[in-house]
Structure formats: structure tokens, C-alpha cells
Amino acid sequence: MTQTEQIKKHLERHNSITPMQALERYGCMRLAARICDLKSDGFHVLSVPINKNGKRYAKYVRAWA
């Protein structure tokens, strides 16, 4: 199963994913690229900016079309 497929299944089950989760669970170092792949395939995903402990990152959330 590809990383894109794994991330899609994760979003279907849990509704969101962070870069750290993608790295730890699926070995994915380029989550934004995989999200772009999913969007290209018509899967609806929103990017939610997170600021925590002086760090900034995006949390990706499944969007219901």
C-alpha cells in the first residue's frame, strides 16, 4: 500500500493527521505532497494551521463535500 493510500485510510478513520503522526506511523516525510496527491484525486482535505510551543505546522482535516 502506498503512503498516499495509507494516509487516505488514516483520514477516513481518524478525520485528521499531523506531520509527526505521518512520519511515526507511515514513514512519510512529505505529508504536504501526499495531501496534494489526495486533493488531485478529488479527496477533500483542509489545512488547519497550528501554533504550539513556538512551533508552526499544519494539521490536515478531512473535509466533507
Q: Domains in the chain and their CATH numbers?
A: 3-62 (1.10.10.10)
Split at pLDDT 50, 70, 90, the class of 44 is very high
Mean pLDDT (the chain, rounded): 96
pLDDT of residue 64: 80
State mean pLDDT over 31-59.
Answer: 96
Are β-strands 45-52 and 55-62 bridged in parallel, bridged antiparallel, or unpaired? antiparallel
* Residue 3, C-alpha cell as written in the block: 503512503
Neighbours of 6 (CB within 10 A): 17
pTM over 0.75: yes
